[in-house]
Amino acid sequence: MGVGTIGLLYGGATLVALFSGIPIAFALGGVATVFMMIFMPAASLDTIAQNVYEELASITLLTIPLFILKGAAIGKSRAGKDLYDALHTWLHRVPGGLGVAVVLACGLFAAMAGSSPATCSAIGSSGIPEMRRRGYSPGFAAGLVAAGGTLGILLPPSIVLILYAVASEQSLGRLFLAGLGPGVLLVVLFAGWAVVNWRREFGMAQRVADAGGPRSEILRSDTYTMRQRFDALPRVLPFLLLLTGVMVALYGGIATPSETAGLGAVMALLLIAAIYSAWRLRDLKPIFEGTLGESGMLLMIIGMSLLYSYVMSYLHISQATAGWIVGLQLSRWLLLTAILVMVVVLGFFLPPVSIILMTAPIILPPLRAAGFDLVWFGIVMAVVMEMGLIHPPVGLNIFVINRIAPDIGLGPIIRGTIPFVILMAVGVVILSIVPGIAMWLPNAVYGH
């Protein structure tokens, strides 16, 4: 049987397994095992456990449960609400300042927690009710938080970038630094849309009020004294110092990524104990349970995905597919576009973790041959995968927001996220035209 036929069978079996509702880790591992039994020597089955263990025994992957612990500690405290409240008091005079505060809170919390769902939950639980109370449309409020939560897979310490570093054999430090510029770019784009939308909704509310209709809360302006502004800072500053300390330790060469993750986790636990008195067993139990559950799920997906990729490589499926892509002789930008469209389509069904580990053996060799910087591509790919978090049918963040505000409904939430999907596509175009937005900082720190 030819490689092409085996490859089609492999891909078809994978789709059938995924659409059958089997958990992703078991779907990928099951398909890989079946094809090992059919197309590989019988002795290869004896190496499954060894292969999975060797793939997981990476010092880089050690950072994942530690960063998850750090994110769980911060995410299950009131740090998100305090951060949002502090930003709101300082930005209330800015047109659309409430929406801008939500975006900035999402960006800062994502950088502290490194988790998209945690960011949506922590900021959305306080931000969405406040925006609705102030007259913002429910769909826009939900879409803004859902989009802001996607920053969790781009800004360090991103689990997605850690996995990409493993799959592409690129420097994790360079990837983390490369994510900062595009992260700021997306924050600016999201905040800009928040201002534009506020002006639109404000104008509509003003016309209704002028016509004798009810006066919307969006027309009301709050005032905060300077004392109130500074009173909001003490609970927030320690976490911002934690974020700064982690960055300095990581990029200053003081600690390795694994050591930095461990330091961040310990410091986060100490901070929530000191600030929120969360030191009793009943306070810590949900943090450790959440960490074990998410870490176990992720590591199972990683292990099975790497086994899946190993079988794909052994059967020469990935090499043949990469060779076929190169043989098409597409221009480098057409090649990039085709690959990113494929990632968007995969995002309809799969989470970013699986997309990276399944596609890396196929797409990275042609991109390297076309002269693309794989660190830059990793950031662009992360932005494209962010779209998958807020568009159906999977749209993880959509369902997180729906759980936080079930009365809004999936329809308005999805309509609220569409402008942000477009903004992310604009961000990808900007990064393609000006790659220095991503690459200037890592090149300045690590050299070319």
Contact by Cβ (8 Å): 153, 116: yes
Considering only the C-alpha atoms of the chain, give the largest distance between any 2 of them, rounded to a whole number of Å: 81
pLDDT at 128: 86
pLDDT at 425: 93
pLDDT at 189: 94
pLDDT at 219: 64
pLDDT at 217: 64
> In this structure, what token pair is assigned to residue 78?
């009131």
Q: Beta-strand (E) ranges in 324-396?
A: none
Q: Distance between CA 105 and CA 122 in Å, rounded?
A: 10
What does the pLDDT look like over 107-147, one tens digit per residue?
A: 888 887 777 777 887 788 888 888 888 788 888 889 998 88
Question: How much is the pTM?
Answer: 0.82
Cα-based distances in Å from 233 to 71, 129, 150, 287: 21, 22, 25, 25
Q: Which positions of the chain have pLDDT values less than 50?
A: none
Q: Distance between CA 190 and CA 420 in Å, rounded?
A: 7
pLDDT at 392: 72
Q: Angle formed by the axes of helices 352-369 and 332-346, to 10°?
A: 170
Count other C-beta atoms under 10 Å from residue 215's C-beta: 13
In terms of Cα–Cα distance, which of 197, 75, 94 is closest to 136?
197
According to DSSP H, which parts of 232-331 are helical?
A: 237-251, 257-276, 281-314, 317-327
Q: Which residues contact 195 (CB under 8 A, 6 or more apart)?
A: 94, 95, 96, 99, 100
Contact by Cβ (8 Å): 116, 149: yes
Phi, psi dihedral angles at 136 (to 5 degrees): -70, 150
Location of structure tokens 């969790």? 152
Q: Which residues contact 286 (CB under 8 A, 6 or more apart)?
A: 76
Phi, psi dihedral angles at 149 (to 5 degrees): -65, -25
pLDDT at 100: 87
Q: Distance between CA 78 and CA 70 in Å, rounded?
A: 14
The domain locations on the chain are 49-446
Give the amino acid at 218: I
Q: Which residues contact 177 (CB under 8 A, 6 or more apart)?
A: 156, 251, 441, 442, 445, 446
Contact by Cβ (8 Å): 129, 268: no
Phi, psi dihedral angles at 87 (to 5 degrees): -65, -35
Contact by Cβ (8 Å): 127, 171: no
Terminal Cα-to-Cα distance of the chain (whole angstroms): 45
Contact by Cβ (8 Å): 354, 24: yes
pLDDT at 377: 94
